[in-house]
Structure 1
Protein backbone atom coordinates (compact mmCIF):
# COMPACT_ATOMS: atom_id res chain seq x y z
CA UNK A 1 0.00 0.00 0.00
CA UNK A 2 1.42 3.43 -0.91
CA UNK A 3 -0.53 6.58 -0.31
CA UNK A 4 0.86 10.04 0.35
CA UNK A 5 -1.36 12.75 1.76
CA UNK A 6 -0.19 16.36 1.94
CA UNK A 7 -1.42 18.86 4.48
CA UNK A 8 -0.65 22.22 6.03
CA UNK A 9 0.83 21.69 9.44
CA UNK A 10 -1.19 22.49 12.51
CA UNK A 11 0.05 22.92 16.11
CA UNK A 12 2.09 20.04 17.46
CA UNK A 13 2.85 18.91 20.98
CA UNK A 14 6.14 17.08 21.10
CA UNK A 15 8.61 14.97 22.93
CA UNK A 16 8.63 13.64 26.44
CA UNK A 17 7.34 10.63 28.31
CA UNK A 18 3.81 11.41 29.48
CA UNK A 19 0.80 9.11 29.65
CA UNK A 20 -1.96 9.68 27.10
CA UNK A 21 -4.88 7.96 25.43
CA UNK A 22 -5.95 8.77 21.88
CA UNK A 23 -8.32 7.00 19.49
CA UNK A 24 -8.50 8.23 15.90
CA UNK A 25 -11.54 7.27 13.85
CA UNK A 26 -11.57 4.27 11.51
CA UNK A 27 -11.99 6.64 8.57
CA UNK A 28 -8.98 8.75 9.54
CA UNK A 29 -6.73 5.72 10.05
CA UNK A 30 -7.82 4.10 6.78
CA UNK A 31 -7.47 7.30 4.77
CA UNK A 32 -3.93 7.98 5.97
CA UNK A 33 -2.64 4.38 5.81
CA UNK A 34 0.82 4.18 4.27
CA UNK A 35 3.55 1.59 3.78
CA UNK A 36 7.10 2.51 2.84
CA UNK A 37 8.23 0.51 -0.23
CA UNK A 38 11.05 -1.96 0.28
CA UNK A 39 11.77 -4.53 2.97
CA UNK A 40 10.03 -4.81 6.32
CA UNK A 41 12.02 -2.94 8.94
CA UNK A 42 12.10 -1.96 12.59
CA UNK A 43 13.78 1.31 13.55
CA UNK A 44 14.51 2.12 17.17
CA UNK A 45 14.37 5.88 17.74
CA UNK A 46 16.21 7.31 20.75
CA UNK A 47 16.27 10.96 21.79
CA UNK A 48 19.58 11.91 23.44
CA UNK A 49 20.18 15.00 25.58
CA UNK A 50 23.09 16.91 24.03
CA UNK A 51 24.13 18.38 27.36
CA UNK A 52 24.08 15.33 29.63
CA UNK A 53 24.34 12.54 27.06
CA UNK A 54 21.44 10.74 28.72
CA UNK A 55 18.51 9.16 26.90
CA UNK A 56 15.27 11.14 26.97
CA UNK A 57 12.72 9.10 25.01
CA UNK A 58 12.27 5.89 23.01
CA UNK A 59 10.09 5.16 19.98
CA UNK A 60 9.88 2.35 17.44
CA UNK A 61 9.12 2.78 13.73
CA UNK A 62 7.47 -0.36 12.33
CA UNK A 63 7.29 -0.85 8.56
CA UNK A 64 4.92 -3.79 8.31
CA UNK A 65 1.67 -3.86 6.29
CA UNK A 66 1.62 -0.18 7.26
CA UNK A 67 4.39 2.09 8.50
CA UNK A 68 3.53 3.28 11.98
CA UNK A 69 5.40 4.72 14.95
CA UNK A 70 5.06 3.18 18.38
CA UNK A 71 5.54 6.33 20.51
CA UNK A 72 4.95 5.07 24.07
CA UNK A 73 4.10 7.73 26.63
CA UNK A 74 5.19 10.37 24.12
CA UNK A 75 3.47 13.71 23.69
CA UNK A 76 3.87 14.15 19.93
CA UNK A 77 0.53 15.21 18.53
CA UNK A 78 -0.67 16.54 15.18
CA UNK A 79 -4.30 17.04 14.22
CA UNK A 80 -3.76 15.53 10.75
CA UNK A 81 -1.73 12.50 11.88
CA UNK A 82 -3.97 9.78 13.36
CA UNK A 83 -3.07 8.04 16.60
CA UNK A 84 -4.51 5.20 18.61
CA UNK A 85 -3.07 4.67 22.08
CA UNK A 86 0.57 5.52 21.31
CA UNK A 87 0.50 4.04 17.79
CA UNK A 88 0.90 6.82 15.21
CA UNK A 89 -0.52 5.94 11.78
CA UNK A 90 -0.11 7.52 8.36
CA UNK A 91 3.68 7.69 8.60
CA UNK A 92 4.36 8.73 5.02
CA UNK A 93 7.70 10.50 4.28
CA UNK A 94 6.32 13.90 5.22
CA UNK A 95 4.85 12.75 8.53
CA UNK A 96 8.06 10.85 9.30
CA UNK A 97 10.14 13.98 8.74
CA UNK A 98 7.81 16.00 10.95
CA UNK A 99 8.21 13.47 13.76
CA UNK A 100 12.01 13.41 13.52
CA UNK A 101 12.36 17.16 13.15
CA UNK A 102 10.08 17.82 16.11
CA UNK A 103 12.42 15.86 18.38
CA UNK A 104 15.80 17.01 17.07
CA UNK A 105 16.83 20.45 18.29
CA UNK A 106 19.72 22.28 19.91
CA UNK A 107 19.38 20.36 23.16
CA UNK A 108 18.55 16.91 21.74
CA UNK A 109 19.61 14.74 18.84
CA UNK A 110 17.88 11.65 17.47
CA UNK A 111 19.53 8.26 16.98
CA UNK A 112 17.88 6.05 14.35
CA UNK A 113 18.78 2.33 14.42
CA UNK A 114 17.20 0.39 11.53
CA UNK A 115 17.20 -3.35 10.96
CA UNK A 116 15.58 -5.40 8.21
CA UNK A 117 13.26 -8.16 9.41
CA UNK A 118 10.99 -10.80 7.93
CA UNK A 119 7.52 -9.45 7.10
CA UNK A 120 5.93 -11.67 9.74
CA UNK A 121 8.26 -10.24 12.42
CA UNK A 122 7.30 -6.67 11.52
CA UNK A 123 3.64 -7.64 11.49
CA UNK A 124 3.95 -9.18 14.95
CA UNK A 125 5.58 -5.99 16.24
CA UNK A 126 2.69 -4.00 14.77
CA UNK A 127 0.17 -6.30 16.47
CA UNK A 128 1.96 -6.11 19.83
CA UNK A 129 2.08 -2.32 19.68
CA UNK A 130 -1.65 -2.14 18.94
CA UNK A 131 -2.43 -4.57 21.75
CA UNK A 132 -0.26 -2.81 24.33
CA UNK A 133 -2.51 0.16 24.94
CA UNK A 134 -1.18 3.53 26.11
CA UNK A 135 2.08 3.24 28.03
CA UNK A 136 2.31 4.62 31.53
CA UNK A 137 4.41 7.69 32.25
CA UNK A 138 8.19 7.08 32.03
CA UNK A 139 7.62 3.60 30.58
CA UNK A 140 8.69 4.35 27.01
CA UNK A 141 11.79 2.12 27.10
CA UNK A 142 10.26 -0.59 29.25
CA UNK A 143 7.23 -1.00 26.99
CA UNK A 144 9.34 -0.92 23.82
CA UNK A 145 11.83 -3.49 25.09
CA UNK A 146 8.91 -5.69 26.16
CA UNK A 147 7.56 -5.64 22.59
CA UNK A 148 10.97 -6.28 21.05
CA UNK A 149 11.83 -9.17 23.35
CA UNK A 150 8.73 -11.05 22.12
CA UNK A 151 9.94 -10.99 18.52
CA UNK A 152 11.95 -13.82 16.93
CA UNK A 153 15.60 -12.81 16.79
CA UNK A 154 15.23 -10.04 19.37
CA UNK A 155 15.25 -12.10 22.55
CA UNK A 156 18.74 -10.84 23.42
CA UNK A 157 17.54 -7.24 23.67
CA UNK A 158 16.20 -7.88 27.15
CA UNK A 159 14.24 -5.54 29.40
CA UNK A 160 15.36 -1.94 29.92
CA UNK A 161 13.99 1.03 31.83
CA UNK A 162 16.30 3.62 30.27
CA UNK A 163 16.40 4.71 26.60
CA UNK A 164 20.17 4.69 26.25
CA UNK A 165 20.52 1.16 27.64
CA UNK A 166 17.90 -0.11 25.19
CA UNK A 167 19.69 1.74 22.38
CA UNK A 168 22.97 0.03 23.29
CA UNK A 169 21.37 -3.42 23.43
CA UNK A 170 19.57 -2.90 20.12
CA UNK A 171 22.78 -1.74 18.49
CA UNK A 172 24.40 -5.11 19.18
CA UNK A 173 21.96 -6.91 16.87
CA UNK A 174 23.53 -8.01 13.58
CA UNK A 175 22.69 -5.84 10.59
CA UNK A 176 21.68 -2.68 12.44
CA UNK A 177 22.24 0.55 10.49
CA UNK A 178 22.62 3.69 12.61
CA UNK A 179 21.96 7.31 11.68
CA UNK A 180 21.93 10.45 13.82
CA UNK A 181 19.87 13.59 13.29
CA UNK A 182 21.07 16.96 14.57
CA UNK A 183 19.21 20.25 14.17
CA UNK A 184 19.91 23.75 15.45
CA UNK A 185 16.45 24.76 16.65
CA UNK A 186 16.52 26.62 19.96
CA UNK A 187 16.40 24.31 22.94
CA UNK A 188 13.28 25.59 24.67
CA UNK A 189 10.05 23.78 23.88
CA UNK A 190 8.07 26.87 22.93
CA UNK A 191 10.52 27.68 20.14
CA UNK A 192 10.60 24.03 19.05
CA UNK A 193 6.79 24.06 18.77
CA UNK A 194 6.94 27.14 16.55
CA UNK A 195 9.63 25.63 14.33
CA UNK A 196 7.60 22.44 13.87
CA UNK A 197 4.51 24.43 12.94
CA UNK A 198 6.51 26.29 10.29
CA UNK A 199 7.76 23.05 8.70
CA UNK A 200 7.20 23.20 4.93
CA UNK A 201 5.56 20.09 3.37
CA UNK A 202 7.60 18.17 0.84
CA UNK A 203 6.48 17.92 -2.77
CA UNK A 204 5.87 14.41 -4.12
Structure 2
Protein backbone atom coordinates (compact mmCIF):
# COMPACT_ATOMS: atom_id res chain seq x y z
CA UNK A 1 0.00 0.00 0.00
CA UNK A 2 2.54 2.58 1.12
CA UNK A 3 -0.12 5.03 2.27
CA UNK A 4 -2.25 5.53 5.39
CA UNK A 5 -3.61 2.80 7.68
CA UNK A 6 -6.52 3.84 9.94
CA UNK A 7 -6.57 2.12 13.34
CA UNK A 8 -9.76 2.58 15.37
CA UNK A 9 -11.58 1.13 18.36
CA UNK A 10 -15.27 0.13 18.28
CA UNK A 11 -18.30 1.72 16.65
CA UNK A 12 -17.80 5.29 17.92
CA UNK A 13 -14.24 5.54 16.63
CA UNK A 14 -15.27 3.71 13.47
CA UNK A 15 -17.46 6.68 12.48
CA UNK A 16 -14.42 8.94 12.69
CA UNK A 17 -12.34 6.32 10.88
CA UNK A 18 -14.84 6.26 8.02
CA UNK A 19 -14.79 10.05 7.80
CA UNK A 20 -10.99 10.06 7.63
CA UNK A 21 -11.07 7.26 5.07
CA UNK A 22 -13.44 9.20 2.82
CA UNK A 23 -11.48 12.45 2.87
CA UNK A 24 -8.02 10.89 2.69
CA UNK A 25 -9.05 8.61 -0.19
CA UNK A 26 -10.47 11.62 -2.05
CA UNK A 27 -7.10 13.36 -1.68
CA UNK A 28 -4.55 10.56 -2.03
CA UNK A 29 -6.54 7.94 -3.97
CA UNK A 30 -8.38 4.88 -2.71
CA UNK A 31 -5.33 2.63 -3.06
CA UNK A 32 -3.40 4.82 -0.60
CA UNK A 33 -5.82 4.43 2.34
CA UNK A 34 -6.61 1.30 4.35
CA UNK A 35 -9.67 0.93 6.58
CA UNK A 36 -10.50 -2.69 7.35
CA UNK A 37 -14.26 -2.48 6.79
CA UNK A 38 -13.70 -1.11 3.26
CA UNK A 39 -10.34 -2.54 2.27
CA UNK A 40 -10.37 -6.25 3.17
CA UNK A 41 -11.86 -8.32 0.35
CA UNK A 42 -14.28 -11.22 0.97
CA UNK A 43 -12.44 -14.46 1.62
CA UNK A 44 -9.15 -12.77 2.49
CA UNK A 45 -7.18 -13.89 5.54
CA UNK A 46 -7.93 -10.78 7.60
CA UNK A 47 -5.15 -11.41 10.13
CA UNK A 48 -2.52 -11.66 7.42
CA UNK A 49 -4.01 -8.71 5.53
CA UNK A 50 -4.02 -6.43 8.58
CA UNK A 51 -0.40 -7.14 9.48
CA UNK A 52 0.79 -6.87 5.87
CA UNK A 53 -0.93 -3.53 5.42
CA UNK A 54 0.41 -2.16 8.71
CA UNK A 55 3.98 -3.10 7.78
CA UNK A 56 3.70 -1.58 4.30
CA UNK A 57 2.00 1.71 5.19
CA UNK A 58 3.80 5.02 5.64
CA UNK A 59 1.53 6.38 8.38
CA UNK A 60 -0.68 4.66 10.94
CA UNK A 61 -3.43 6.91 12.31
CA UNK A 62 -4.64 5.83 15.77
CA UNK A 63 -8.14 7.19 16.38
CA UNK A 64 -8.50 7.82 20.12
CA UNK A 65 -11.74 8.89 21.77
CA UNK A 66 -12.57 9.29 25.45
CA UNK A 67 -13.38 5.58 25.90
CA UNK A 68 -10.30 4.28 24.11
CA UNK A 69 -8.37 3.42 27.28
CA UNK A 70 -11.27 2.10 29.33
CA UNK A 71 -13.07 -0.39 27.06
CA UNK A 72 -12.88 -3.79 28.74
CA UNK A 73 -12.87 -7.47 27.80
CA UNK A 74 -15.64 -9.84 28.99
CA UNK A 75 -13.27 -10.81 31.81
CA UNK A 76 -13.09 -7.19 32.97
CA UNK A 77 -9.53 -6.28 31.94
CA UNK A 78 -8.72 -3.40 29.66
CA UNK A 79 -8.67 -4.46 26.03
CA UNK A 80 -5.69 -2.22 25.26
CA UNK A 81 -3.62 -4.28 27.73
CA UNK A 82 -4.30 -7.52 25.85
CA UNK A 83 -1.47 -8.38 23.41
CA UNK A 84 -4.04 -10.23 21.27
CA UNK A 85 -6.24 -7.14 20.94
CA UNK A 86 -6.22 -5.96 17.32
CA UNK A 87 -5.72 -2.30 18.20
CA UNK A 88 -2.77 -3.27 20.40
CA UNK A 89 -1.31 -5.61 17.76
CA UNK A 90 -1.54 -3.11 14.91
CA UNK A 91 0.17 -0.34 16.88
CA UNK A 92 2.96 -2.63 18.11
CA UNK A 93 3.48 -3.91 14.56
CA UNK A 94 3.71 -0.34 13.28
CA UNK A 95 6.37 0.60 15.83
CA UNK A 96 8.31 -2.59 15.06
CA UNK A 97 8.23 -1.80 11.33
CA UNK A 98 9.35 1.81 11.83
CA UNK A 99 6.04 3.25 10.62
CA UNK A 100 5.14 6.82 11.57
CA UNK A 101 2.34 6.62 14.18
CA UNK A 102 0.02 9.59 14.62
CA UNK A 103 -2.57 9.65 17.44
CA UNK A 104 -5.79 11.33 16.24
CA UNK A 105 -7.63 12.69 19.28
CA UNK A 106 -11.39 13.03 18.83
CA UNK A 107 -12.83 16.29 20.17
CA UNK A 108 -11.46 17.05 23.66
CA UNK A 109 -9.87 13.65 24.31
CA UNK A 110 -6.59 13.86 26.20
CA UNK A 111 -3.60 11.98 24.80
CA UNK A 112 -2.75 8.83 26.75
CA UNK A 113 0.21 9.02 29.09
CA UNK A 114 2.97 6.43 29.34
CA UNK A 115 1.65 5.31 32.73
CA UNK A 116 -1.75 4.61 31.18
CA UNK A 117 -0.33 2.36 28.46
CA UNK A 118 1.15 -1.15 28.51
CA UNK A 119 4.93 -1.23 28.17
CA UNK A 120 5.00 -2.12 24.47
CA UNK A 121 2.67 0.79 23.62
CA UNK A 122 4.26 3.50 25.75
CA UNK A 123 5.97 5.02 22.70
CA UNK A 124 2.49 6.09 21.59
CA UNK A 125 2.44 8.66 24.39
CA UNK A 126 5.53 10.31 22.86
CA UNK A 127 4.07 10.57 19.36
CA UNK A 128 2.90 14.05 18.42
CA UNK A 129 -0.90 13.96 18.27
CA UNK A 130 -3.44 15.85 16.19
CA UNK A 131 -7.02 16.70 17.12
CA UNK A 132 -10.07 16.30 14.91
CA UNK A 133 -13.24 17.94 16.22
CA UNK A 134 -16.51 16.48 14.99
CA UNK A 135 -18.01 19.96 14.68
CA UNK A 136 -15.03 21.16 12.63
CA UNK A 137 -14.06 18.06 10.69
CA UNK A 138 -13.53 19.78 7.35
CA UNK A 139 -11.07 22.27 8.83
CA UNK A 140 -9.24 19.75 11.01
CA UNK A 141 -9.00 16.96 8.43
CA UNK A 142 -7.76 19.46 5.84
CA UNK A 143 -5.02 20.49 8.28
CA UNK A 144 -4.15 16.82 8.89
CA UNK A 145 -3.87 16.19 5.14
CA UNK A 146 -1.45 19.10 4.75
CA UNK A 147 0.64 17.81 7.66
CA UNK A 148 0.76 14.30 6.20
CA UNK A 149 1.95 15.72 2.88
CA UNK A 150 4.68 17.66 4.70
CA UNK A 151 6.06 14.66 6.61
CA UNK A 152 5.61 11.94 3.96
CA UNK A 153 6.73 12.91 0.44
CA UNK A 154 5.08 9.82 -1.05
CA UNK A 155 1.70 11.09 0.12
CA UNK A 156 2.40 14.53 -1.33
CA UNK A 157 3.17 12.83 -4.66
CA UNK A 158 -0.02 10.77 -4.41
CA UNK A 159 -2.07 13.91 -3.79
CA UNK A 160 -0.43 15.68 -6.72
CA UNK A 161 -1.14 12.79 -9.08
CA UNK A 162 -4.76 12.26 -8.00
CA UNK A 163 -7.36 13.61 -10.45
CA UNK A 164 -8.07 17.26 -9.73
CA UNK A 165 -11.55 18.71 -9.49
CA UNK A 166 -12.87 19.69 -12.89
CA UNK A 167 -16.25 21.05 -13.94
CA UNK A 168 -17.47 20.02 -17.36
CA UNK A 169 -20.73 20.94 -19.08
CA UNK A 170 -21.95 18.97 -22.10
CA UNK A 171 -25.23 19.80 -23.86
CA UNK A 172 -26.86 17.57 -26.47
CA UNK A 173 -28.93 18.68 -29.47
CA UNK A 174 -31.53 21.43 -28.82
CA UNK A 175 -34.94 20.28 -27.68
CA UNK A 176 -37.15 19.88 -24.64
CA UNK A 177 -35.11 16.89 -23.48
CA UNK A 178 -31.77 18.68 -23.67
CA UNK A 179 -29.43 17.23 -21.10
CA UNK A 180 -26.82 19.18 -19.19
CA UNK A 181 -23.96 17.17 -17.75
CA UNK A 182 -22.08 18.77 -14.88
CA UNK A 183 -19.46 16.79 -13.04
CA UNK A 184 -16.96 17.37 -10.30
CA UNK A 185 -14.30 14.69 -10.39
CA UNK A 186 -11.85 14.27 -7.54
CA UNK A 187 -10.19 11.01 -6.64
CA UNK A 188 -11.39 7.48 -6.87
CA UNK A 189 -15.13 6.93 -6.77
CA UNK A 190 -16.11 10.38 -7.98
CA UNK A 191 -19.05 10.56 -10.33
CA UNK A 192 -20.93 12.79 -12.74
CA UNK A 193 -24.47 14.02 -12.16
CA UNK A 194 -26.81 14.43 -15.11
CA UNK A 195 -29.74 16.80 -14.75
CA UNK A 196 -32.33 16.56 -17.55
CA UNK A 197 -34.90 19.17 -18.45
CA UNK A 198 -37.49 17.23 -16.47
CA UNK A 199 -35.42 17.46 -13.31
CA UNK A 200 -34.16 13.88 -13.50
CA UNK A 201 -30.73 13.22 -11.97
CA UNK A 202 -28.48 10.27 -12.61
CA UNK A 203 -25.06 9.73 -11.06
CA UNK A 204 -22.45 8.06 -13.24
CA UNK A 205 -19.21 6.77 -11.79
CA UNK A 206 -17.73 4.20 -9.47
CA UNK A 207 -19.45 4.30 -6.08
CA UNK A 208 -17.34 4.15 -2.92
CA UNK A 209 -16.77 0.65 -1.55
CA UNK A 210 -19.43 -0.80 0.73
CA UNK A 211 -18.54 -1.10 4.39
CA UNK A 212 -18.40 -4.60 5.86
CA UNK A 213 -18.70 -5.39 9.54
CA UNK A 214 -15.21 -6.53 10.66
CA UNK A 215 -15.16 -10.09 11.98
CA UNK A 216 -12.12 -9.34 14.10
CA UNK A 217 -13.33 -7.57 17.29
CA UNK A 218 -12.15 -3.99 17.55
| TM norm. shorter chain > 0.5 | no
Structure exhibiting the larger radius of gyration computed from Cα positions: 2
More helix by share: 2
The structure showing larger relative contact order (alpha-carbon pairs under 8 Å, at least 6 residues apart) is 1
Give TM-score, length-normalised by structure 2: 0.28
Give TM-score, length-normalised by structure 1: 0.29
